Amino acid sequence: MSKIIPATRAFLRKTWKSHEKVDATASGPRFSIPLRIGDEPQETRRGLNEESREPFYEMKADKLFGYYHGYAGSYERRTELLYADLFSFYSDEILPISRRSININSVRISFSSIPYRLPPSLKYHSETSIDFFIKLKKIKWDFENNEWENNTSIRLEEFSEDGTFYCEPVRYFDQVATNLTVDWASGKLPNRATTIRSEIERPQNGLLPPLSQSLLANNLGTAIMFYNRDLTRTLVRLRSDNLASIAQKALHCTVSGVLEMPPGCKAGEHKFDFFLYGTRQEIKMETNLDPDQYLLFPICIARELPRAGKPQLFFVAINLIDDDEFERECRNAKEKNEYLPSEKVTLIEDLSQSKFSPPDMYTYEGWASQILAENFLIANESIIRERLSHR
């Protein structure tokens, strides 16, 4: 049974503050990582060996920041968030967590009904990827539709600082064929290319290629970190390492997944609520909570380095129910199997004695969610407490 692991804010603030002050090139338990400009992307996995546990894309910070050396001086690099091009959200009441920010009330989503088409040159790699993921049980069977699960989600084609987001439909299989297998030498890529990242979607001057130029599926994801009602601790979970994405057995954010489209969605212009449907749907699937059981605040959007620029939304959610009730709800969640029992990991209160640096305790998405959520609360705790007082 998956369980929630309380993470006290005092411990978390101490660990990430001390981590942030370490220079990126200083020697130490974690940051003995000299910047090597011009590092070439390498495959993480080769061939069709079903027994291999090697990942299909790179998740090591030193490798990724070697590939994308243009982010050397960024906040994300200093705190070892494996993300880049971060823009935070703000409103009349909510303060942003970064200088580059977008007024959430001015967000305009231009949605096209014409779906993403996988480049024909990736056809054989796509077929091989999907067949192999099915064999590895990384794609689930959809009993309702009597087929392998291939949900339609949202592809982010481009977004601008004025809050304009251009989106289109995309299928889960397209993500398997691109973002989820960017460092896998499948042997089925065109022109004898080794991997997608090394020869098809290469870094540009040490940076991610612009979304508008990307050939990848770039399904928009969502990650939510829950806090208890008195804001004293986050509620993290232990991620299973048998999943198709973020296959790391480590502490994870409370909820995460691909952002699904609202049902009956029509082409045209939408507001930020267009992104909230899929976020609330993911919360329901992984915790069984309904919207009246929590408060939800958008933090930012960023692009992920491991999956070659896949865009990701980050949120904070505040529980309006107590921890015991939250546990009971999670036990009834449809996708509870994505998380492991907390008995299989040392409780976070004991992790302060660990020899590991804080990012090693988390999945890379969980670590980013933790840092960004804590920054959001530092900036906005008073307004959040005020809203809580009326609930």
Give the pLDDT mean for 303-307. Answer: 97
Q: Which residue has the higher pLDDT, 334 or 13?
A: 334
Least confident of 58-67, 334-343, 381-390: 334-343
Least confident of 15-19, 221-225, 317-321: 15-19
Chain centroid, CA 334 distance in Å = 20
Q: Which residue has the higher pLDDT, 26 or 319?
A: 319
Looking at residue 376, its pLDDT comes to 96
pTM confidence score: 0.89
pLDDT digits (tens, 9 = 90+) for 131-170: 999 999 999 888 888 889 898 999 999 999 899 999 999 9
Looking at the structure of the chain, the number of domains it has is: 1
**Rounded alpha-carbon distances, angstroms, from residue 9 to 69, 72, 223, 348:** 32, 28, 19, 11
pLDDT band at 339 (very low <50, low <70, confident <90, very high): low
Looking at residue 233, its pLDDT comes to 85
Looking at residue 195, its pLDDT comes to 97
Adjacent-strand bridge partners of 294: 319
If phi over 0 gives left and psi between -120 and 50 gives alpha, with beta otherwise, what is residue 244? alpha
pLDDT band at 328 (very low <50, low <70, confident <90, very high): confident
Looking at residue 13, its pLDDT comes to 65
* Cβ-contact 169, 275 below 8 angstroms: no
Distance CA 295, CA 145 (A): 33
pLDDT above 90 covers a percentage of the chain that reads 64
Least confident of 243-252, 312-321, 347-356: 347-356
- Which of the 8 DSSP states describes residue 102? E
Looking at residue 1, its pLDDT comes to 38
pLDDT digits (tens, 9 = 90+) for 22-81: 333 222 333 333 444 558 999 999 999 999 999 999 999 999 999 999 999 888 888 889
Q: What dihedral angle (degrees, nearest 10) is formed by the CA atoms of 140, 144, 150, 153?
A: -120
Looking at residue 7, its pLDDT comes to 67
Q: Which of 305, 245, 326, 350 is closest to 85 using CA atoms?
A: 305
| Boundaries of domain holding 121 | 5-389
In the numeric block, which tokens belong to residue 136? Answer: 């590895």
pLDDT above 70 covers a percentage of the chain that reads 83
How far from each other are the two terminal CA atoms of the chain, in whole angstroms?
30
Q: Which residue has the higher pLDDT, 253 or 188?
A: 188
- Which segments within 201-264 are labelled E, that is strand? 221-227, 233-239, 251-252, 255-258
**Rounded alpha-carbon distances, angstroms, from residue 117 to 121, 155, 174, 188, 266:** 11, 11, 8, 18, 19
In the numeric block, which tokens belong to residue 119? Answer: 């480049």
Is residue 111 classed as helix, strand or coil in its secondary structure? strand
Distance CA 308, CA 83 (A): 10
Q: Which of 71, 75, 79 is closest to 17 using CA atoms?
A: 79
Which residues neighbour 367 within 8 Å (Cβ) at sequence distance 6 or greater? Answer: 80, 81, 358, 359, 361
